[in-house]
Amino acid sequence: MNWNPPPKPADLSESRLIRAILEDLFPIDSNLPPERELAASLGVTRPTLREVLQRLAQEGWLEIRQGKPTRVRNYWREGNLGVLATIVQYPNHLPTGFPADMLAVRSLLAPAFTRLAVARAASQVVDLLLPYQNLEDDPLIFTAWDWRLQIELTLLSGNPVFTLIYNSFAGLYQLLGVAYFRQPNNRRLSRQFYLHLLACAEAHDELAAEQVVLSMMQTTQRLWEQVRL
């Protein structure tokens, strides 16, 4: 039997501090308690706490100021991809419109990286899409394969920034994807989309592929309004 190891003190403290920030126990622009007090409340040593604070500062959650209290940043304005990758792990604390915002970003990115992927590696895109015609009609399977398709297309685009941005959405996408693909009509539309995209890749037509993806992203945004988590 494989046992899950207990969380490390630093990881547990990091999670607790992030929750405290998201729940406004430590609001934006407030100061954290002194190190000694905060370490005692978290039940960790001061060196462990300093490690955690440095991590959170690098992601944009905190501002460590020499000789002054550590400030909670406005992470929506001052954060980076680290904040994005972390905050999607706390779906109950996301703003109401965050899924729609994420889909809007996807609508901007996906057509671009798909066009690049078909332009650079059309035959590999074809090989990637061929199995999608026979997916088992299951929401979990559709979610996993749809995510894989998007990640692989970012890789084939040749621009690693697309992949880094998409990886930041990974945790939230699993939640949203299963909710979306529970609807049989959404699975049917995706099957049609995969088929159309395959035809574009077979024709080495990157501009047509870009338009197919753009149309699908716009449709997905409209359909998402009907989805309930």
The domain containing residue 77 runs over which residues? 9-90
Q: What is the pLDDT of residue 207?
A: 97
Comparing C-alpha atoms, which of 220, 143, 216 is closest to residue 181? 143
pLDDT-derived band at 4 (thresholds 50, 70, 90) equals: low
Q: Is residue 1 part of a domain?
A: no
Predicted confidence (pLDDT) at residue 1 exceeds the cutoff of 60: no
pLDDT in tens, 152-171: 999 999 999 999 988 888 87
Within its chain, how far is the Cα of 55 from the centroid?
19
CA distances from 78 to 4, 13, 22, 61, 71 (A): 35, 22, 15, 8, 12
Q: Are 110 and 210 contained in the same domain? A: yes
For every residue of 172-190, DSSP letters joined together read: HHHHHHHHHHTSHHHHHHH
The b-or-e profile of 11-32 (16+ CB within 10 A means b, else e) is ebbbebbbebbbeeebeeeeeb
Q: Which two tokens stand for residue 18?
A: 């992030």
Mean pLDDT of the chain: 90
Within its chain, how far is the Cα of 112 from the centroid?
18
Q: Domain count of the chain?
A: 2
Q: Are 132 and 39 contained in the same domain? A: no
| 193, 212 Cβ separation under 8 angstroms | yes
Comparing C-alpha atoms, which of 74, 150, 64 is closest to residue 105? 150
Q: What is the pLDDT of residue 169?
A: 83
Domain-terminating residue out of 59, 90, 121 = 90
Predicted confidence (pLDDT) at residue 40 exceeds the cutoff of 90: yes
Comparing C-alpha atoms, which of 141, 186, 147 is closest to residue 163? 147
Q: Is residue 3 part of a domain?
A: no
Q: Are 47 and 147 contained in the same domain? A: no
98 vs 164: which has the higher pLDDT: 164
Q: Whole-model pTM above 0.75?
A: yes
